[in-house]
Amino acid sequence: MTQAPANYFTHLECSETGDRYEADQPHNLSKAGKPLLARYDLDAMKAGIDRDTIWSRDGGFWKWRELLPVADDAHVCALGEIDTPLIDIPATAKVSGATGKVWVKDEGRLPTGSFKARGLALAVAMAHQYGLTRLAMPTNGNAGAALSAYASRMGMESWCFAPEDTPEANLREMALQGAHVFKVNGYIHHCGALVGAGKEKMGWFDVSTLKEPYRIEGKKTMGLELAAQLGWRVPDAIFYPTGGGTGLIGMWKAFDEMEQLGWIGPERPKMFAVQAEGCAPIVKAYEDGTRLAEEWIDAQTAAMGIRVPKAIGDFLILDAVRESGGAALAVSEVAIEAARTRCAREDGLLLCPEGAATLAAMEKAMGDGLLERDAECVLFNCGSGLKYAMPDGAKALDRHGDVDWGSL
């Protein structure tokens, strides 16, 4: 870019109290202990920019600079970002009993192979803008991979604390990309406590989910991109794998901002927060009718990205789900693996376990009458299926012996 796009970022706002915070310095949570949300001068932007002009640009999620907080090109950390594809899965949809269009938004095509690239690129860019040099976070795998890549890209340190059963591919990816990586005997919120405990002595800035304001801004680009790909409209339903829930919160924010800009109308998709039965704090809160979720004890699921026993943005997730007419749904490990296998075999699309959970949840929603079978649905595949263990379906064949071709 020869000249940075106009920047309309004005301030931060407490998501609970509405109190204003100036953006001239880095922030974590508000004084109320709640996430901060970035705000923009949308009236000025509406008068000065056209949606199709932005959409015509290259650069993946960085094309939305007017709706992002990064003012100076010097802080943009880019690793070849793209607009992730919407992939139709007609054969899988038919087997699942869906009669409407079912799309998979495949976030595994982003740098570091997951949607965490969106949020962490923005968090790192803003940290760089503030002159921070050392960043730390708890991670179930993909977030740490994104942090390590973007931090190294900008010449910054990254420190990642992961549960000891985090997939080895993720741990090695972080380390190879320059992170200081620690395996912790606990869950992600225990790792988060260590990040907080070491903050004063180690001098790092905490970029945990929703504990800084800008990962939401990166994740909201999923909503901007999706609306543009659908011709400036929204689908009937979105199924989103929900751990910390940053992306669901971010997309809900994006839809509101686009309506204020006149880019879309008041229609909203039903938002379905998808969790595993072995770790479903948001689902329990939804079913109990509460706005806050209790910590889930002894969380268990192979879908590591949604194994988050306690989410700091619980009330924001639940607000969006309820306002949209959606639901929070839990699916079993058996259903997750069956969905992963079905999509791979029917449509040749390899989902990660968390992405497969959204397919299982769509089937559950339709089966339970929460959604019409002819609804247009978007399932978020949050990461590359190649990062996860897969069943061994290969058979041995002796090239020196007589091959019984009929038996094959």
Q: Tell me which residue of 354, 246, 240, 358 sits closest to 305, measured CA to CA.
A: 354
Work out the pLDDT band at 407, boundaries 50, 70, 90: confident
> Given a cut of 70, is residue 275 above it in pLDDT?
yes
Q: Is 167 among the domain residues?
A: no
Q: Tell me which residue of 191, 198, 192, 139 sits closest to 170, measured CA to CA.
A: 139
Work out the pLDDT band at 42, boundaries 50, 70, 90: very high
Identify the helix (H) or strand (E) that includes residue 354: helix 353-367
Q: Is 42 among the domain residues?
A: no
> Given a cut of 90, is residue 2 above it in pLDDT?
no
404: which residues sit within 8 A by CB, 6+ positions away?
none
Q: Is 131 among the domain residues?
A: no
* Gap between the Cα atoms of 354 and 274, Å rounded: 9
Identify the helix (H) or strand (E) that includes residue 45: helix 42-48
Average pLDDT over residues 13-29: 96
Please tell me the predicted confidence (pLDDT) of residue 381. 98
**Mean residue pLDDT across the chain:** 96
Containing domain of residue 272, as a range? Answer: 86-113+214-387
Average pLDDT over residues 228-234: 98
Please tell me the predicted confidence (pLDDT) of residue 252. 98
Q: What percent of the chain has pLDDT over 90?
A: 95
Q: What percent of the chain has pLDDT over 70?
A: 100
Q: Is 406 among the domain residues?
A: no
Work out the pLDDT band at 1, boundaries 50, 70, 90: very low
- What is the per-residue pLDDT across 44-73, written as a single tens digit (0 to 9) for each? 999 989 999 999 999 999 999 999 999 999
189 token code pair: 């919120």
> Given a cut of 60, is residue 258 above it in pLDDT?
yes
Average pLDDT over residues 167-176: 95
Please tell me the predicted confidence (pLDDT) of residue 4. 80
185 token code pair: 């005997």
Identify the helix (H) or strand (E) that includes residue 51: helix 51-55
Q: Say how many domains are in the chain.
A: 1
Which residue, chain included where needed, has tokens 């071709």?
Answer: 405
Q: In terms of DSSP H, where are the helices of 97-186?
A: 116-129, 142-153, 168-176
Strands 270-276 and 237-241, bridge-based pairing: parallel
- What is the per-residue pLDDT across 173-219, written as a single tens digit (0 to 9) for each? 999 999 999 999 999 999 999 999 999 999 999 999 999 999 999 99
> Given a cut of 50, is residue 255 above it in pLDDT?
yes
- What is the per-residue pLDDT across 349-405, written as a single tens digit (0 to 9) for each? 999 999 999 999 999 999 999 999 999 999 999 999 999 989 898 999 999 999 999
Q: Is 123 among the domain residues?
A: no
* Gap between the Cα atoms of 63 and 244, Å rounded: 25
Query: CA separation (Å) from 210 to 30, 38, 56, 214, 316?
Result: 11, 12, 30, 8, 11
Please tell me the predicted confidence (pLDDT) of residue 346. 97
Q: Is 345 among the domain residues?
A: yes
Q: Which CATH number do you get for residue 285?
A: 3.40.50.1100
Assess contact for 216 and 207: CB atoms under 8 A: no
58: which residues sit within 8 A by CB, 6+ positions away?
none
* Gap between the Cα atoms of 283 and 15, Å rounded: 21
DSSP string, 242-297: -SS-HHHHHHHHHHHHHHHHTSS-S--PEEEEEEETTB-HHHHHHHHT-SS-PPPS
Residue 9, helix vs strand vs coil: strand
Query: CA separation (Å) from 289 to 11, 240, 276, 285, 318?
Result: 32, 20, 19, 6, 9
Helices 214-229 and 116-129: crossing angle in degrees, nearest 10, is: 130
Q: What's the first-to-final CA gap in the chain, in angstroms?
A: 57
> Given a cut of 80, is residue 3 above it in pLDDT?
no
Q: Is 40 among the domain residues?
A: no
Phi, psi of 400 (to 5 degrees): -90, -20
> Given a cut of 90, is residue 408 above it in pLDDT?
no
Q: Is 381 among the domain residues?
A: yes
